[in-house]
Amino acid sequence: MKNVTITLDEKVAHWARVWAAERNISVSRFVGQLLETKMREESGYDMAMTQFLSVPPQSLKKKGRYPSRDALHERADLR
């Protein structure tokens, strides 16, 4: 474990002390858990992005011509 000193606004410090006391943990543990959660979230995002980018891109266009707008929106049954 590494000790770190932080500076908080008085209202924030009071809220953190009350919140931690209600859960029977120290403010230090509370801040440590918050930072660990944030680290895991960002690590998970980075891993997902790396996995996504590792797949070769695929062309969305298939061989041939695109259908016309009229063909896409044809609703013969409604006429």
3-state helix/strand/coil string of the chain: CCCCCCCCCHHHHHHHHHHHHHCCCCHHHHHHHHHHHHHHHHHHHHHHHHHHHHCCCCCCCCCCCCCCHHHHCCCHHHC
Which residues 6+ apart lie within 8 Å of 6 measured at CB?
A: 31
The verdict on residue 70 lying in a domain is no
CATH number, domain of 41, equals 1.10.1220
Q: What is the pLDDT of residue 65?
A: 82
Q: What is the pLDDT of residue 79?
A: 59
User: Half-sphere exposure (CA, 13 Å, Cβ side) for 9?
Assistant: 3
Q: With a cut of 70, which residues of the chain have pLDDT below it?
A: 78-79
Domain count, the chain: 1
For 36-50, write each residue's pLDDT tens digit: 999 988 888 888 889
The verdict on residue 15 lying in a domain is yes
Q: What is the pLDDT of residue 10?
A: 97
Percent of the chain with pLDDT over 90: 48
